Structure 1
Amino acid sequence: MKILILTKNLLAETECQNKLQQLNNEVLCSTSLVEDSYMMPGKTEGILSYFSLVILSETISYQEIKAVVPIIRKHATAIVRKFESDYTKDFEEEQTEYVIDQWIRKDASLEEVRELCQAITQRESDNQVEILFSNGKGVFNKGQYHFYDIGFSKRESALLLSLYECRGSYLSREELCGKIWKEKLVSNSQRSALSTCVRNIKSKVRKIGIPCEPIETAWGKGYQISDEFYQLIKV
């Protein structure tokens, strides 16, 4: 597997790089690509698409992580974040909209690194499975997508997962807001944020060329996931 480690300090990645290479992976460490990824995305997209896995070092700040993840998500199969303390991990998971595929401690053992690589390899293999479906305009040969492959935020993923689990049924705005925000009383700001999530999901699906509408809307009923999109994605 081809792995890119983005870091602010090459020496800090020596142990991690050695373990990955012991498992017969090709590994590149880079400091310059951290800033280039969000300052000059056109320059780096060809490089990022070469790697199956991008590991974000614990030496990269939270603000930089927020900037680079949306760029990396368009190209890499998976994004892994190294962390030093549970506090850091919990904070980032709670505060951010982006989705990290896997987390691993900076001092992870060789066995833990091996399990991580196997999980990413399996996911990459699953994404290569092709399925056929028709949307009335012809037959399309498409890969099977994971939520994360499309670049949904954490909130957008939560919305889609709720619809996915209730396939064939409509969920009202109030029901969806309750599932996403875990609150009994639904505010107007949450309803507005829900509408924004739906628009963003549809926009992201169109942007990567999936030829179907992901979400169906019915006045007085709410939202449901479309059958075509349900067949294309996996959780």
Structure 2
Amino acid sequence: MENDDYFEDEEFSPMKSILGLLTFSTILPINVFTSIEYMTKLTWIWPLLHLFVGILAAICGYVSMEFLHLNSFFTATIVYGFLMLITGYNHLDGVMDMADGVMVHGEPEKKIMVMKDSSVGAGAMATLFIVASITVAGIYNILDYHFILGIIICEMASKTSLLTTALLSKPLTPGIGSYFINETNPANYFASTFIVAVIAYLLGGYVGICGVVGAMVSGIIIAIIAKRNFVLANGDVLGMSNEVGRLLSLLFMAIALFFF
């Protein structure tokens, strides 16, 4: 996208960039495109865009439980499937690629080469299964507490996890991930996270705040793992952070629901 001559004389448009970011991260029929440089300038707003995605997923869960009368587990699998579908399975390859890179022995250069390789190893498949199954279990758990709004929070917070990793990482260039990492700085990160925390509190009180904290912890953990294994981070690392961020957000909320 960044090399397309079509965008050479384009002027920055916040609205076009927001819609471009939503086009990039979902399969919604928006079809608004802009250069990768302009789109990523508003990376900090990504969690707020996925607030909308989370609302759609929560509606899906509500319909499944209240109108189709499906149990919590069946609803959880449908909600997770819906989230994967509407986001175009965007980050699942990141989960698998980073897992393969971490599992292989050797220097960072070798690990990066494996992470970029298109082949899929046992570590990739196992990690994807673990992340997906625990995420479904997490949705199931919060639905058992009748906290359907937690679906909105965890989807929004998954992008907070991604931004946390981006903030704490140095980019591997070239690559699309490097643009997101370069555009994430302390000022826009903390502004984004503060807004996400306020929304999460309005939706779920202290439980919602715990969901955001869980996502931030996820982002820190993934950034540390990436630094130790690859030194630098790319789009695969950010994808892993997104998926693990949703998982840890659900885990933290599930624990908080028991105590609060």
What is the TM-score with the length of structure 2 in the denominator? 0.26
Larger strand share, 1 or 2: 1
- Higher relative CO (Cα under 8 Å, sequence separation at least 6) belongs to 2
What is the TM-score with the length of structure 1 in the denominator? 0.28
Bigger Rg, structure 1 or 2: 1
